[in-house]
Chain A
Amino acid sequence: MAKLWAIIKREYLERVRSKWFLIATFFGPIFFSAIIIVPAWLASTSKATTDVYNTTILDATGTGFGHRLAVNIAVDTTIPGRMPVVKVVAPSELTQAESLATREVMRKEKSGYLVVDQQTIAGESARYAGSNATSIVDMTQIKSAIRQTILASRLQNVGLDDAKLKQITFIPLDFSTERITERGRAGSGMASVLFGFAIGFLLYLSIVIYGQTIMSGVLEEKTTRVAEVVMSSVPTDTLLAGKVLGVGAVGLTQQILWIATTYVLLKLRAPIMAKLGAPTMNFSLPDITLGAGVLFLLFFLLGFIFYSSLYAAVGSSVNSESEARQAASPLMIMIVSTAVFIQPVLLNPTGSTARVLSLIPISSPIIMPIRMAVTGVPTLEMAASLAFLAIGCVAALWLASRIYRVGLLMYGKRPTMKEMARWVSYAR
């Protein structure tokens, strides 16, 4: 037991002390909060850009429609310079005015120009040309301002006074979305999907990085023959267990640090974003209970044990880094093919693909936590997933320990699959 502890301690301390660990632990949360905050920030700025104010309205209606429209586009007329310029033109001068406006846009003095005429008042057509013509948000805002202005004109024609008019047409609608799960309301739908994606990505990255860390650690011990010295002091199973637990603890430490700092960063996002000049947004974090957190770490740990023991077996069976990369490709294929399903599972977390993948030990350590993040998972499914994963871990450890203890002592050419199968059958 003391020797197992010595191995765990070495694996843990040597890696935690490394520069790489410090850098990754420090930049991880910045990276993860960036992938959560940036899309959320982009979503929050779905209010039109300032481009809509920097436009010219060519008013050929002869009714002052352009001025009323400009006020409606500006929304808040008290802010200077946030209102389109209105040019009243005669219908016959329109072509000339348009070419003038086009040149202004080309010289980047204006974002675009809007043409309103009799057909606009009739509610039939309006034209916009500009550099932001592809911006859905901008166009939506201009379009709704035109509708609003037409509606107001018609109501005025029916004899409504200005105060009544404002009262009727003023609709400052703020449309927010929220997702409902079996546990109730669970924060904004967007945030939840992003969170699920972040978790899937985090797990995928951790398993690949730490799996390969174990593999090259085993390879180093083999090529330097340290393995022989250690094996003369402790049973190989203890060495393997010590490595998996030691590196696993490093991974767990990093995950916990990442989660904790990301959480703090997100809590503090309002002041951070205010500093960045971004508008504060109404964006609630997904509601994570302690139980879900523990389950998440459990899936990480089991997934890690499953893959890292197989990576250790690969590391023990080869003689160089380049051989290792080749020999590890089946494992890489297993992990990457799981990662391919992250998006489909996010889109349909209760579908049969998601449910089947969260039962297979190869994919469940990544897929199940994602489902947990975006939807409620029935207890029975959760239990079955954990049970299968645990069985998978035992099988992987058994297989790995048998390859490991033979492989570590075999130098020379890389073994074939057949030879490795024979190693498994060796007593010792």
Chain B
Amino acid sequence: MLPPRSYMTEYAIDIVNVTKRYADHTAVRDLTLRVPKGSVYGLLGPNGAGKTTTIRMILNIIAPDSGKIHIFGRPSNDPKITERLGYLPEERGLYRKMQVRRVLKFLAELKGVRGKDADRRIDEWLVRLSLKTPEKDWGLSKIDELSRGMQQKVQFIGTLLHDPDLVILDEPFSGLDPINSQALKDTVVELKKRGKTVIFSTHLMDNAERLCDSVCIIARGEKVLDGTVTSVKEEHGQRNIALALEGDGISGVAAILRDHSLVKRADDSNRFFEIEMAPGADPQALLRRIVESGAAVQRFEMIQPSLHQIFLQKVGATGVEEGMTGHG
């Protein structure tokens, strides 16, 4: 049974009650998660949490023991779907003795891009990532003649060459130098702008926090929490605001801070306040009221716990289970 139509178009990835067991442990247990179309989604978790297993099931490299996975509303084992997916595995490498251009052509052919079309795209990408300059065409070199950074670029081209609608990156930042790391972030942002969906696994909360619209934290094969980054922070952190005022007008503000529909509690340090918002209250409404009162605002900042803190709080140091594959 296919899910209802509205549901089909809403999610890029729809995982329902998926379990994957190996001989001596359960890699993923009863996982349900939905990745909205056009979003940047982070799959967070310690090593051995089940990230790679989840990604492999999304890619139909392995099949779940139970549960259902739909990609763009179609079962994940639909052969047509694979051509809309781009995948960058965690540890990277390519055929060492093969010419760059031929490797890329091969990867393109596997995704249904052939002939002249493939050649044109390869050229565009090589130029774009400066692997092809008027002086030197690295496309004609063998993979093992390239520096590590250049090899990463080639692999990246291979992932995106067929212009996939869903890009899956397994630990994309591991082993990247700062320049390629920035290039990757830029590309993720650009993919999102073009309406593509990007899902990546990472244990680097910093990158996730800045790049992701939504995240899912998994540990020991189970989902700990998921949702948009904002909602995760709202649900799992104190909603505090740091307020600093200039000059007079403090008396007007004091009245606002006593409004319990907005403010649960306020720490008054003369011209600096740390305010805990009332449940469901909108910080923007509070800001408007303060500005309307005529006070000169020097600083108004939501102080939210970082994903890192939430992660530590929810998963703790014991979240690591020995994985069968040593990663994921």
Contacts and interface: CB of A to CB of B under 8 A. Distances in A.
A231 interface: yes
A13 B106 CA distance: 11
Interface string B63-105: 1010000000000000000110101011111111110001000
Contact of B61 (A223, A224, A409, A422): A409
B61 A225 contact: no
Interface stretch (A2-10, A52-60, A61-69, A192-200): A2-10
Nearest to B63: A428
A233 B93 contact: no
B93 A223 contact: yes
A418 to B, nearest CB: 10
B78 to A, nearest CB: 12
A225 B110 contact: no
Contacts of B111: 233
Nearest to B111: A233
A2 B112 contact: yes
Given A232-B59, A233-B82, A428-B62, A3 B110 contact: yes
A279 B326 CA distance: 69
A223 B107 CA distance: 17
Contacts of B97: 14, 18
Contact of A427 (B63, B92, B112): B63
B60 interface: yes
Given A229-B87, A409-B325, A224 B110 contact: no
B285 interface: no
B92 A6 contact: no
A411 interface: yes
Interface in B96-138: 96-98, 102, 106-107, 109-112, 114
A232 B61 contact: yes
Contacts of B221: none
B283 interface: no
A323 interface: no
A231 B60 CA distance: 8
Contacts of B98: 14
B2 interface: no
A233 B63 contact: no
Contacts of B326: 411-412
A7 to B, nearest CB: 8
B24 to A, nearest CB: 10
A381 interface: no
B89 A10 contact: no
A219 to B, nearest CB: 12
Contact of A226 (B23, B65, B93): B93
A220 interface: yes
Contacts of B87: 228-229, 232
Interface in A260-316: none
B63 A225 contact: no
B233 interface: no
A225 B89 contact: yes
A233 B158 CA distance: 12
Contact of B93 (A2, A225, A230): A225
Contacts of B94: 224, 226
A383 interface: no
B95 A224 contact: yes
Contacts of A232: 59-61, 82, 85, 87
B56 interface: yes
B106 A225 contact: no
A318 to B, nearest CB: 15
A410 interface: yes
A256 interface: no
Interface in B284-328: 324-327
Contacts of B65: 427
Interface string A189-222: 0000000000000000000000000000000110
Given A409-B62, A411-B326, A428-B63, A3 B92 contact: no
A234 interface: yes
A18 B82 CA distance: 31
A233 B95 contact: no
A7 B94 CA distance: 15
A419 B24 CA distance: 11
Nearest to B158: A229
B177 to A, nearest CB: 19
Interface of A: 2-3, 6-7, 10, 13-14, 18, 220-221, 223-226, 228-234, 409-412, 419, 422, 427-428
19 contacts: A6-B110, A7-B110, A14-B95, A224-B93, A226-B93, A228-B87, A228-B89, A229-B89, A229-B107, A229-B110, A229-B158, A231-B59, A232-B61, A409-B61, A409-B62, A409-B325, A410-B325, A412-B325, A428-B63
Given A14-B102, A226-B94, 9 more contacts: A3-B110, A10-B106, A13-B102, A14-B97, A232-B87, A233-B107, A409-B325, A410-B324, A412-B325
3 smallest beta-carbon distances between A and B, as pairs = A224-B93, A6-B109, A233-B110
